[in-house]
Structure 1
């Protein structure tokens, strides 16, 4: 995964999604980061959650949220990024 700060992700996401409320997204991301740090697992497969995806969808891993296996070019919040 590609590390990104919360603020950078919020700015990038809201630029592409102008209807998104930045402060609400930032709050959801912070909650998902906290959950991930506390060991939250995917609702479907029990793998480690993807903080960014879990802030937008429900607590899930990258594969369950996107249906893809390769996360090498996708973002994850830097403070919980594993690569």
Structure 2
């Protein structure tokens, strides 16, 4: 069984997730797991902590976003790709 992360390790990982989300605009759990070298379940817990900090926004299962504008841009792009091709 893996050793539980200490409070400082957890806090550092959450800070790295927040920083990556702000730099990229969006980060998914899979991307964060690759960056941190952690299991997806652990990253999900850290995403909840990052969201509670108020510095990033969680948008469903789409990941963490730096702000509401980034979520709108993401949805507009996704919507345009999904419904815009048939016209």
Structure of greater Rg: 2
TM-score by length of 2: 0.36
Higher relative contact order (CA 8 A, sep 6+): 1
The structure with the greater share of residues assigned to helix is 2
